[in-house]
Every structure is written in C-alpha cells, then in structure tokens.
Amino acid sequence: MEKTFLMVKPDGVQRNLIGEIVSRFEKKGFQLVGAKLMSIPQELAEKHYGEHKERPFFGELVEFITSGPVFAMVWEGENVIATARTMMGATNPKDSLPGTIRGDFAATVGKNIIHGSDSPESAEREIGLFFKEEELVSYSKLIAEWIY
C-alpha cells in the first residue's frame, strides 16, 4: 500500500494545528502508520530540503524548519501521496483554495503549515530520512476494505 511522509511544520505546531491536520487525514480515510513530535537537527533539515540547496530561500527554509518542534508522520492508503498534496493546497497560500490546509490556515509562503512528499521517490526518501523501519506499524482495521 502506498505511503507518504507528512509533517506539521513549526508554525502549525505553534498554532495548535496538529489535531486539526491529523483529523483531516483520518476523516479522509487514510491510516496513520507512524508519528512523532521532534526537533529537526540542522543536518537532517539540509538533507530533507536538499533539492532547494541553490534557491535563494534555502537558508531561511532550513532556519525555519529547525526553529521549533515539528510533527512528523507517515500515512498509508491508495494514492495517498497525490491526495495529500491536494488536501494540503498550493505551496503559496495566495493560490491555495479554501478547504485545503494551506488555504484555510496559512497566509505566507514561508510559513505554510505542512509538508508533504511530492512523488513516490520523495516519499520513500523522506520516510527513510525521518523514520526507522521499526517505528512504522502495520495494522488493519476491522472495517470495510476501502477505508485504509
């Protein structure tokens, strides 16, 4: 079953949005298979955002993501990678629609509440960066097979 890496960024944690965000993915029908509140070490932040190394905002991005605790999660379900991106909304909150997480809660591009893997390759890479194999659990719920 497909898995993705999602993370409530420091602004989302500070604004008490962990529960709201977890709740949206639960209600959608996805399954939480790993989660932890953590501070991101500098080196992990630089690796995680490695694709943006040459961008002018890289320093700011790493500084922000290491500025306070984040809530790191792994979610599972059919098409969870793309669906989670849709539920998050556009990167820049000026373009993210109401009803999406960024559309409802974020106002600036640098502080946009949530991170989500953008492809199967990123998901595998990011899950591996943030979680050990034994931190992920596999379990089934005793309900309809289309609720993941």
Smallest separation (angstroms) from ligand RTP to the CB of 115: 4
Rounded to 5°, angle at Cα 111 from 42 and 36: 55
The dihedrals phi and psi of 111, each to the nearest 5 degrees, come to -125, 80
Smallest separation (angstroms) from ligand RTP to the CB of 147: 26
**Residue 29 found at the interface with ligand RTP (CB under 6 A):** no
**Residue 57 found at the interface with ligand RTP (CB under 6 A):** yes
Candidates 14-22, 75-83, 112-120, 129-137; binding stretch for ligand RTP (CB under 6 A): 112-120
Length of the chain counted residue by residue: 148
**Residue 66 found at the interface with ligand RTP (CB under 6 A):** no
Give the whole-angstrom CA distance, residue 106 versus residue 113. Answer: 6
141 class by beta-carbon count within 10 Å (0-12 exposed, 13-18 middle, 19+ buried): exposed
Q: Please identify which residue in the block is written with the tokens 């005793």.
A: 142
**Residue 103 found at the interface with ligand RTP (CB under 6 A):** no
Which listed residue (44, 109, 129, 136) binds ligand RTP by CB under 6 A? Answer: 109
Does residue 115 have an active-site annotation?
Answer: yes
Give the whole-angstrom CA distance, residue 119 versus residue 130. Answer: 16
**Residue 110 found at the interface with ligand RTP (CB under 6 A):** yes
User: Which residues lie near ligand RTP (CB under 6 A)?
Assistant: 52, 57, 61, 91, 109-110, 112, 115-116, 118
